Structure 1
């Protein structure tokens, strides 16, 4: 198996759980928060920097000024002159490429589809669901009332969208930005995972790579 699976997701759609199920069933590594640890190790930047900047396009100037003192490991003047959020993104970008070079895996969020868009082994997926399904899930997970769950969803979706649109040339959640878009509200967690695995098998077997339209004009 060669396929690397990137999963973008709406907050509350179950993207993390779906990705974990796919990785477990295929027997391949899974990276979500684990990517932050890898990027910190690879770059020499403090782990807390990655956690604070995680899927956020910008941060306060004061925080950047203070936390920038923790950064080390890069001798390039260009790197040193970068704003902190740019350093973090670049470090994650490079770690994603290293992970993909090590073999098949599942990577959640962090513009992995953009970092690997030239990789022929990439299968990019976006998980979404209707707002009511997501409100129920988040309310249940965090013990929130529906209105608070809805507010958290809007806040997190806005952050992820801004982050993705800020760093890539694509639009977060748009079907044109991914190979496969799945509604987990309709197919469920297990069904969404199965669809991804089927797509991987199709990709691995080369099915659909030379489709010819035989319809008459």
Structure 2
């Protein structure tokens, strides 16, 4: 496989996308970036006191949007820091990490940020409702399918707002995979094989 490929992984909540990204990074012997991006972006903005609760909010909480809505605010002494500023800071971090070498980047609209990068390959990970519902019970502390879908709606709003594209639209990604159909390990091997054929 081309050693310079940067893989971005977007995923439905509850489909095993984080685990799949981890397996891909291990198989390719490259770094996996996810929550570190938020911390690095926050540091870039001078926000140095992110708690785990703040991190969770930055990663998942996106309210219905208006032109004046500012979701990322009130961290430490930086109250009012705009969400757009945070998104731009995250985008800068993502570009820098991708320029540093091959890696796997999870979430953060990285597929959009790197869409013009020639060695970039984007994946969207989804799963059938029955599969996600079972994982909600077993892996996500008893979350219901409704709760998983609510998280998906937040991700979609965030992505749609900042990219101007539709989250999960196959046209936005190089490959869509359904984790309901095989083990995550086999899916990771299939992704690597597919990338080998197109890169």
TM score, norm. by length of structure 1: 0.79
Asked if 1:202 is matched to 2:158, the reply is no
Within 5 A, what are the aligned runs for 1:165-204? 165-204=160-199
Match of 1:53 among 58, 69, 80: 58
For residue 68 of structure 1, report the CA deviation from its aligned partner.
7.3
Q: Match for residue 113 of structure 2? A: 115
Aligned residues: 191
For residue 35 of structure 1, report the CA deviation from its aligned partner.
1.8
Structure 1 spans left out of the alignment, 5+ residues: 72-81, 205-217
Q: Larger % of helix: which? A: 1
CA RMSD in angstroms, aligned pairs only:
2.4
For residue 45 of structure 1, report the CA deviation from its aligned partner.
2.3
Q: 1:63 to 1:112 in 2, by over 3 A?
A: closer
Asked if 1:162 is matched to 2:157, the reply is yes
For residue 55 of structure 1, report the CA deviation from its aligned partner.
4.4
Q: Match for residue 98 of structure 2? A: 100
Q: Match for residue 16 of structure 2? A: 14
- Rg (Cα) greater in structure: 1
Deviations 1:71-101 (A, max 9, x none): 7xxxxxxxxxx85211111111110001001
Q: 1:62 to 1:23 in 2, by over 3 A?
A: closer
For residue 115 of structure 1, report the CA deviation from its aligned partner.
0.5
What is the SS of the residue equivalent to 1:66?
A: coil
Q: Match for residue 30 of structure 2? A: 28
